[in-house]
Structure 1
Amino acid sequence: MKNLVSTSLFFILLIATNVAGANDKLNNQECFFTLNGIEHYVKISGAENKTTPIIIVHGGPGGNNYNFEKTIGPHLEKFAPVVYYDQRGCGRSKAAKDTNDYTITTLISDLDCLRESLGLEEMTLLGYSFGAELSLRYTKAHPKRVKQLIISSPAELSTSVFLVQLQGFYSIANQHLRHEIEEILKQDKSVKEKFLSIWNIVPQSVVDSFLFVNQYIANLNRKMWEESKLPSEGTVHFQNVIFENSKGDLLESVRGLDTECLIISGIFDKNGGFQTGIELNKVLTNSNLLLYEKSAHFPDMEESERFANDVKKFVLRN
């Protein structure tokens, strides 16, 4: 009996040590990590919290984490270590010299190199927009490295999402813009070419209504874009390479994935379509879907208090 008690205490202490030591190598800092030969901007905050680190995987493709860091980020840092990084060619990170070196496979490898550089055995991924797809595909490739998965406003790079976005613009356009959209749709071009042409003619005000329900938040978002003065050098490369190589197979490729997953979708999301979240909830065996009734594509900004509370409950309940 005494040996049994001693053994039990040993394992309890071992587990406690592993949890406490899970992020001992993390320090609050801004720096650059060289991942697959490319300097990536990395910011670590909330390292004083001895819980599994949350890695923030931004969208785009070609975006950055600047707005996330300034808005919802500090709320998450109160209860977990948060690691922000800009993907290659994005924001504050360096671009690859080879314009063909922008693929999902490369981005998955970059993310795993980041994990190794941070000295983490496992991590929680929080991916939003395109970052949700990247996080899902990373988890499929490295399931033992992801303790929990949070995907917000999931958007897959595929022809179907192009069509969702075109319908979204049409639904909020005035008569003149609808006419312009219809003329583009008549052209003998690919869906992708039509998609890019329509994005080029849509006014700023319509883009804001497309991405946000609350136009005060939309204006704040745009001001922060301008304030950051960050280029998106990777955007063209992402469009030319990732779009061309997209198979539109996300749902089938992650079917049966059993990593614990929280899915957050705004019901007014015209960018990725909240339907993507509903369908992912069907194929992921250990997922929970939360629909946000006052949000479009950025529930982290439009319902920030709820977003932070839902993430906190999810990551701290285990």
Structure 2
Amino acid sequence: MKMLLALLALSAPVAAQTPMPVIPPTGYVEVADVNLAYWVYGQPSKATPVFAVNGGPGLSHIYMVQNDVWLQIARHRQVVFYDQRGTGRSPLKHADAAMRMDAQVADLDAVRAALHLDKIDLCGDSYGGFLVTAYTAAHPEHVDKLIISDGVVGWKSIVHLFPQVFPDKLEAQEASMRASTANDEEKAQQGLRDHFSMIFYSREKLDYYMSHAKDLGNSPATGQAVQAATEDLDLMPALPKFSVPTLVITGRYDMNVAPLTAWRIYKAIPGAKFEVFEESGHLPSYEEPEKYVRVINAFLGKE
């Protein structure tokens, strides 16, 4: 009987995850280089709003809304997304716009100020963890609580396991790119999808995600510019000075930003909390959505 139950569990279909509805931006915040598009979900309440800051760099927030995790969190507090400069609905006004981290931090602060919010919570996913860490270092007075979700605090401190775990896939992908007759933009978009193929724990959830996420909001030129502008920035030395309550999240099988990265961040921040998602890769919000909502709500608190 136990064997039968195990087989049934293995053959069970992946539970459908419904993407959040595609809606127009709630508004725009004009800064020197870009008009920043932002989205607000949920009703005003006593709870501190949380900014869900996406990764990349070079991606829009669209990859984060492929299920209703953030809609569930928005039942208890307002959730704010924005597209970072040069991505999604926030195209640059001119090609030589700054991509340094200080410009990115100023953008986030401009959205906060435009919404008349003195205090915000921050949840940075992947590269978004880098950005919210930089913001917290620059503006601790505006941060109530901080979440770093499979995030980074500098490119050189990442423990990245793709070469050790996926040597066959990487070689096949490189060979496919060399043989491809696609243009550079098409190759970049395919390269991103190849990248996503290695960041999930569950093959079934990977297939379901990729079959429904037709547009990942990728701007390759922006991603390259941000990486070049931030390649030498390391925020690890700043972490011991943090005093805001912090939660560090990692997927146990995250080969893109391995759990050792999260562990080192957690150890560096006084009083931080650490949460491992045992059946997730780089996107625990998608692979273990019920637990993700529960963990986020418990940390941020519900009014």
> TM-score scaled to structure 2, two decimals?
0.79
- Structure 1 match to 2:140: 143
Kept in 2: contact 1:172–1:206 (CA 8 A): no
Contact persistence 1:35–1:114 (CA under 8 A) = no
Q: How far is 1:112 from its partner? A: 0.6
Deviations 1:85-143 (A, max 9, x none): 11011112122413351111100000111110000001001110000110011001000
Deviations 1:163-218 (A, max 9, x none): x43x424412338928969xxxxxxxxxxxxxxxxx97x97886344210112222
Whether 2:236 is the aligned partner of 1:242: answer: no
Q: Structure 2 CA distance, aligned partners of 1:78 and 1:256? A: 33
| CA–CA separation in structure 2 for the residues paired with 1:232 and 1:56 | 18
- The whole-number CA distance in structure 2 between the counterparts of 1:175 and 1:106 is 36
1:175 and 1:250, CA in 2 relative to 1: closer, same or farther beyond 3 A? Answer: closer
Which structure has the higher relative contact order (CA within 8 Å, separation 6+)?
A: 2
How does 1:69-80 map onto structure 2 within 5 Å?
Answer: 69-71=65-67, 72-80=69-77
Q: Residue deviations 1:30-73, cap 9 Å, x none?
A: 22222345111211111244311011111000112123234121
Structure 2 letter corresponding to 1:249: D
2:182 aligned partner = none
With over 3 angstroms needed to count, the CA separation of the structure-2 counterparts of 1:315 and 1:221, relative to structure 1, is same
Contact preservation (8 Å) 2:239, 2:269: yes
Distance 1:231 1:295, change over 3 A: closer
What's 1:184 paired with?
Answer: none
Q: Is 1:220 aligned to residue 208 of structure 2? A: yes
Shift in Å at residue 309 of structure 1? 0.4
Q: Distance in 1 between matches of 2:228 and 2:138?
A: 20
Match of 1:168 among 143, 149, 162: 162
The worse-fitting range, judged by mean Cα deviation, of 306-315 and 40-49 is 40-49
Counterpart CA distance in 2 for 1:83 and 1:232 is 20
1:92 alignment counterpart: 89
Structural mapping, 1:292-303, within 5 Å: 292-303=277-288
Count of aligned residue pairs for this structure pair: 269
Residue 311 of structure 1 aligns with an amino acid whose one-letter code is: I
Give the aligned partner of residue 218 of structure 2: 232
Contact 2:61–2:217 (CA under 8 A) maintained in structure 1: no
- The structure with the greater share of residues assigned to helix is 1
- Residue identity matched to 1:76: I
Unaligned runs of 5+ in 2: 1-23, 176-186
Structure 1, gaps ≥5 residues long: 1-27, 182-198
Deviation digits for residues 259-296 of structure 1, max 9, x if unmatched? 10111100111112211110011111131010111011
CA distance in 1, matches of 2:229, 2:150: 22
Report if aligned partners of 1:295, 1:302 keep a CA contact under 8 Å in 2.
Answer: yes
Q: Are 1:261 and 2:246 matched, yes or no?
A: yes
48-57 or 102-111, larger mean C-alpha shift:
48-57
Distance 1:231 1:179 in 2: 21
CA RMSD of aligned residues (A): 3.0
Cα 1:51–1:173, aligned 2, differ >3 Å: closer, same or farther? same
Tell me, yes or no, if structure 1 residue 316 matches structure 2 residue 281.
no
Moved more, 213-222 or 107-116: 213-222
% identity of equivalent residues: 24
Letter in 2 for 1:284: I
How far 1:29 moved relative to its partner? Answer: 6.7
Task: Please tell me whether the aligned partners of residues 47 and 82 of structure 1 are also in contact (alpha carbons under 8 angstroms).
Answer: no
Alignment map for 1:1-318 (pairs within 5 Å)? 30-71=26-67, 72-161=69-158, 164-165=159-160, 167-174=161-168, 177=171, 207-226=195-214, 228=215, 231-233=217-219, 235-316=220-301
Equivalent AA in structure 1 for residue 198 of structure 2: F
Deviation of the 1:239 alpha carbon: 1.6
Contact 2:29-2:37 at 8 Å conserved across structures: yes
- SS of 2:128 mapped into structure 1: helix
Q: How many angstroms apart in 2 are the aligned matches of 1:169 and 1:203?
A: 15
What's 1:187 paired with?
Answer: none
